[in-house]
Amino acid sequence: MRNKFRGWLKRFRWVGILLVLLAVLALFGCFWEDLKSNSATLRNLSLIVFGIIGLPLAIWRSSIADKNVKIADRNSVTDLFTKAIEQLGSGSHDKPNIEVRLGAIYSLEKLSKTNNEYYQTIIDILASYVRENAPIPPESERKPDDITRTDVQAAMTVLSRRTRKSKEPQLNLRAVYLPRVILNNKACLTGANLDGAYLRKAKLDDADLQEAELNGADLQEAELVGADLFHAQLEERANLKGTNLIAASLAGAYLDVASLQGAYLGGAQLYGTLGLTCAQLTSAINWELAYRDEQLACGAEIPPPPPSSGR
């Protein structure tokens, strides 16, 4: 509707200019005999007529120049996008060119911030890049000192610091291998699919994991201090052994069969959790200091609700 209106507006503009020209020419013709006897007046009117004729031509040339600039900008953006995608595959699967790939990842991040039409495509590409380049290896190939590869870490950093759009599709990071990944500074992983993800010893302090899917995920010894796991799904034997959940919010989280052995729960909010039992809870460290409902008293006094809980 807006484009149609603009089309009509352009047509009326040119029609208006044409009518003005015709009116000037008609007046010029009517008073031609009188004007011939007054050369100064004739010269001035001639300049006015040429000015009026030149105005639409100047407008037309300006419009064409503006369109050319927009086309050039669009082509430049397309070229940058295409080049960055090509660079993401630099090197081989076994020997990736990390430096070139890093440049491509950060170029795509910049492009996603300045060109809204490319935003979702770039987010999907980077998520796919992580899945393709960080699949979970067989257990026999994993080592205790494994760390997330540099380019994959960069892609995850870009994804976690984006400004999430309203109604943005779910971020698909299912079954990715991200040992010791560092995603601090309120990482944006709201609603992300991290089912089966390997996140041992990950740094996720203050991360936004509201409604995230972490079923069967391995978060052993991960740092989740102050993380927001409101309504997160941590079922299907999610591994939270030794995980630091101090001051984290697990309100409304699904914890059926999740392992909390040795997890740190001091100051964690467990209001309205689903599937959590006393056997699970009491296997954690400082569980008595967790804010929880009466059914999870488990023989210990429950601390008064914190002011931020709204209870």
pLDDT tens digit string along 248-266? Answer: 999 999 999 999 999 999 9
**Residue 80 pLDDT greater than 70, yes or no:** yes
- In angstroms, the CA 249 to CA 18 distance is 69
Cβ partners under 8 Å of residue 248, min gap 6 = 224, 225, 226, 227, 228, 229, 268, 269
Distances (CA, A) of 162 to 43, 134, 171, 200: 64, 20, 12, 23
CA distance 201 to 179: 6
Torsional sign, CA 272, 273, 275, 280: negative
> What type of residue is 90?
S
Q: pLDDT per residue over 29-61, tens digit each?
A: 665 555 555 566 556 556 666 666 666 666 656
Considering the entire predicted model, what is its pTM?
A: 0.77
pLDDT in tens, 199-221: 999 999 999 999 999 999 999 99
Mean pLDDT value across residues 104-122: 96
Residue 93 banded pLDDT, cuts 50, 70, 90: confident
Give the model's pLDDT for residue 307.
77
pLDDT, position 28: 59
Which residues have C-beta within 8 Å of that of residue 48, sequence separation ≥ 6? Answer: 24
Q: Rounded CA gap, 243 and 101, in Å? A: 32
